[in-house]
Amino acid sequence: MRLIVQKYGGTSVGSAERIRNVAARLIETQRSGAEVVAVISAMSGVTDQLLKLAGEVSPQPSGSEREMDALLATGEQTSIALVAMAVNALGGKAISLTGAQAGIVTDRAHTRAKISNINPKLIEELVSEGFIVVVAGFQGRTVDGETTTLGRGGSDLTAIALAGALGADACQIFTDVDGVFSCDPRVVPDATQMQEIAYDELLEMAGAGAKVMQSRAVEFAKKFGVPFEVRSSFGRKAGTVAKEETASMEDVVIRGITIERKQAKITMAGVPDAPGTASRIFSAVSAANVLVDMIVQNASDQKTTDISFTIHEGDLPQTEELLRPVAEEIGAERIATQSGVAKLSVVGIGMRSHAGVATRLFDCLGEGGVNIQLISTSEIKIAVVIEERDADRAAQLTHAAFGLAKPAL
């Protein structure tokens, strides 16, 4: 019999009514002739609420990571029990399992544990007895039996890892969007839903601000070759299938466009062109736990160079402050900052085999009067930093220039 893993995110189980809807879908899937394993997130808002409470009783949670995991795991434990009860109430046969009961073994890194091993024997027995097995996402246990969690969004990882361990015939990630789109439909109304996307494209799009899946889950799927479908739990439409790239996927020049807003740009100008300066700058930034995105250094024709990078806008005041003494120490001339910038990325494995993608992007932005402030590229992505107020228009122009719009009927 076919075995299907279905993951339902927090919004999909956000209320009693939605839980009943999920239960009905699980029963329907089983009746279509499949064995069903469900992976469930905490009801929407619950994990955030638990984190907030934890912060109120213990402003500095370090030292309490074990307790944090014990706390956060309750969110998923609530929702699995409710889903299983709803299935039973509708005349189905379900049983809930915690991560530990489901055989998910992790390392000891509390709050960001890695799955080290899955023993799916109990799940296999239960599905063969006709149960819909409802597994708590986001959690596992160490070899010593301690509860662990897998990092925010970790239910995606649970689903992919279980699908891999069970050799599932399908893994469906049910969420509150229809699938992955060529661009945010709120910005580009004629954006199209993709039928398929390569793992690497999805990873680049996630890194560029299109959050549909936890990145670690996608990396895991890529590593172990677990194809999955992202689709909506509210409608019936097919979603987007993420999988190993195929030759035909390269025919598309670019697959999608993403925008990341609320970015800031920092330029350290007149930096002495000497070993160790970049290291000094970025070790200071990362010591403050500020995430750096794009980094661009100029080729120096004199004895100095300029280094620019982007961070989240909210981190700007702190970063500026911590860099002043560093600039002085390394003998940089000045620091310039700008907030209110955005990053626009075009992503597609087709770039590898199509020449002139960058030129087409630059032409399109140039004709639209959009100034490019920084450029960075990878094998399958070109990203530019632009004024935030130009972002929507730039996305619309680029989307049209690369022919990503819905074909007119």
Residue 228 contacts which entry, ligand ASP, Mg ion, none (Cβ below 5-8 A, type-dependent): none
Which pairing describes strands 34-40 and 132-136: parallel, antiparallel, or unpaired? parallel
Q: What is the dihedral of CA 397, 202, 175, 170, to 10 degrees?
A: 140
Q: Which is nearer to Mg ion, 46 or 268 (CB)?
A: 46
Task: Enumerate residues 69-108 that contact Mg ion by CB under 5 A.
Answer: none
152 binds, among Mg ion, ligand ASP, none (CB under 5 to 8 A by kind): ligand ASP
Least separation in angstroms between residue 213's CB and ligand ASP is 10
Distance (Å, rounded) from C-alpha 398 to C-alpha 257? 8
66 binds, among Mg ion, ligand ASP, none (CB under 5 to 8 A by kind): none
99 makes contact, choosing from Mg ion, ligand ASP, none, with CB < 5 to 8 Å by partner type, with: none
CB of 9 to ligand ASP, least distance (A): 6
Output the 3-class SS for the chain: CEEEEEEECHHHHCCHHHHHHHHHHHHHHHHCCEEEEEEECCCCCHHHHHHHHHHHHCCCCCCCHHHHHHHHHHHHHHHHHHHHHHHHHCCCCEEEECCCCCCEEECCCCCCCCEEEECCHHHHHHHHCCCEEEEECCEEECCCCCEEECCCCHHHHHHHHHHHHHCCCEEEEEECCCCCECCCCCCCCCCCECCEEEHHHHHHHHHCCCCCCCHHHHHHHHHHCCCEEEEECCCCCCCEEEECCCHHHHHCCCCEEEEEEEEEEEEEEEEECCCCHHHHHHHHHHHCCCCEEEEEECCCCCCEEEEEEEEEHHHHHHHHHHHHHHHHHHCCCEEEEEEEEEEEEEECHHHHCCCCHHHHHHHHHHHCCCCCCEEEEECCEEEEEEEHHHHHHHHHHHHHHCCCCCCCC
In the region spanning residues 131 to 190, those forming contacts with Mg ion, defined by CB under 5 A, are: 153
Give least dist CB 154 to Mg ion, A: 8
**23-52 mask for Mg ion (x: CB under 5 A)?**
------------------x-----------
Sketch the per residue contact string, 191 through 210, with ligand ASP: x for CB under 6 A, - otherwise: --------------------
Q: Which is nearer to Mg ion, 156 or 196 (CB)?
A: 156
Residue listed under structure tokens 């087709």: 350
Question: Of 41, 147, 182, 233, which one interacts with ligand ASP (CB under 6 A)?
Answer: 41
Site residue total, Mg ion (CB under 5 A): 3
Closer residue to ligand ASP in complex, CB, 211/262: 211
Options 29, 30, 47, 277; binder of ligand ASP; rule CB under 6 A: 47
* Number of residues this chain uses to bind ligand ASP (CB under 6 A): 13
Tokens matching residue 290: 């500020």
- The partner in contact with residue 179, picked from Mg ion, ligand ASP, none with C-beta cut-offs of 5 to 8 angstroms by kind, is none
Q: Whose Cβ is closer to ligand ASP: residue 72's or residue 180's?
A: 72
Task: For the CB of residue 140, give the shortest distance to ligand ASP in the complex, in Å.
Answer: 12
Q: How far is the CB of 244 from ligand ASP (least distance, A)?
A: 24
Q: Select from 69, 105, 66, 87 the least CA-distant residue to 8.
A: 87
Binding mask 124-163 for ligand ASP (x = CB under 6 A): -------------xx-------------xxxxx-------
Nearer to ligand ASP, 173 or 385 (CB): 173
Q: Give the residue, chosen from 5, 9, 68, 258, that forms a contact with Mg ion under the rule CB under 5 A.
A: 9
Among the listed ranges 9-17, 117-125, 327-335, 357-365, the one in contact with Mg ion (CB under 5 A) is: 9-17
Residue 43: Cβ within 10 Å count: 22
Among 22, 36, 42, 351, binds ligand ASP (CB under 6 A): 42
Q: List residues binding ligand ASP (CB under 6 A).
A: 9-10, 41-42, 47, 75, 137-138, 152-156
Q: List residues binding Mg ion (CB under 5 A).
A: 9, 41, 153
